[in-house]
Amino acid sequence: MQIREFAKLTGVSVRTLHYYDEIGLLKPSAVDGQNGYRDYDADCLARMQEILFYRELDFPLKDIAAILSAPDYDKQAALHAQKHLLTLKKERLERLIAALDDAMKGETIAMNVFDTSQLDAQRRAYAQEAKEKWGSTDAYREHEEKTKGYSADTWAAVNDGMQALMAEFAACRKNGNAPDSEPAQALVKQWQDYITEHFYVCTKEILAGLGEMYTADERFAANIDSHGEGTAEFMREAIGEYCR
């Protein structure tokens, strides 16, 4: 099926499918050499189902790619692990629903119903192989080295700095600047330098991938757009221009 049909069937956007193709997470079964149209087959659908299971469990895209690309990846074992994690998530939701019922009756509820430690621990254990795979990269090693001494206050300050820059992107867009304008491009350079200063060397290749993720990943898009609707898309386009 063509990309729009596949997007409709799987419930993801065409842009997300383009991004998954770019990062090697989900490649189309065929690409027309003349018009660039992408086609997807049953194997693509099966892989997308696995990706969506992991996304439902809040696995980062980099971890999903690492897990699915591992040479010893066992699909059946993965499905069993996913079922176990989803069952834990379901049980937690059922406890929350029961607690809401009790609260509506005016009864006191135990605060441990909000505890996610068991699910988080299981998810971290399952994602360990992905971390080990990514851990062989220079970017990960540099990230670990730079942030290992960060205190809670430091993390808060770094996050505040990022939020402030996002707000500047929002203001830049609101003032009528185009993504390829001088003010927007200056902000992209500040963004790249900020990531390099606080996390790892942010090359144009890495920055381009991040830009696509800001709209492809709903959580990133929601966070960025909290500064103004359309900010995530504006950042993506500005970064794309900068990296070309």
Task: Tell me if the domain spanning 138-243 has CATH number 1.10.490.50.
Answer: yes
Digit-coded pLDDT (tens) for 109-132:
677 667 666 666 666 665 665 455
How many Å apart are CA 33 and CA 137, to the nearest integer?
Answer: 33
- What's the pLDDT at 173? 96
- What's the pLDDT at 72? 54
pLDDT at 133 over 50: no
Q: List the chain domain ranges.
A: 3-52, 75-134, 138-243
User: Which has more confidence, 171 or 22?
Assistant: 171
Is residue 187 within 8 A of residue 172, CB to CB? The reply is yes
How many Å apart are CA 146 and CA 208, to the nearest integer?
Answer: 22
How many Å apart are CA 200 and CA 193, to the nearest integer?
Answer: 10
Alpha helices in 42-175 (DSSP H): 42-56, 61-69, 75-104, 117-134, 138-147, 152-174
Average pLDDT over residues 195-214: 86
CATH fold of 3-52 reads Multidrug-efflux Transporter Regulator; Chain: A; Domain 2 (1.10.1660)
Is residue 33 within 8 A of residue 19, CB to CB? The reply is no
Is residue 42 within 8 A of residue 52, CB to CB? The reply is no
Q: Of 210, 207, 208, which Cα lies nearest the Cα of 220? A: 210
For residue 2, the SS3 value is strand
Average pLDDT over residues 218-237: 89
| Tokens describing residue 34 | 């003349």
Digit-coded pLDDT (tens) for 163-187:
999 999 999 999 999 999 999 999 9
Digit-coded pLDDT (tens) for 140-156:
566 667 777 777 678 77
The contacts found for 25-29 with CB under 8 angstroms, 24 or more apart, are: 25/51, 25/61, 25/64, 25/65, 25/68, 26/51, 28/3
pLDDT over 70 percentage in the chain: 82
Digit-coded pLDDT (tens) for 38-90:
999 998 998 899 898 888 877 777 778 777 766 556 677 777 777 888 888 88
| Tokens describing residue 65 | 């790619």
| Cβ within 8 Å of residue 143, ≥6 positions away | 199, 200
Tokens 């809670």 identify what position? 152
| Cβ within 8 Å of residue 16, ≥6 positions away | 7, 216
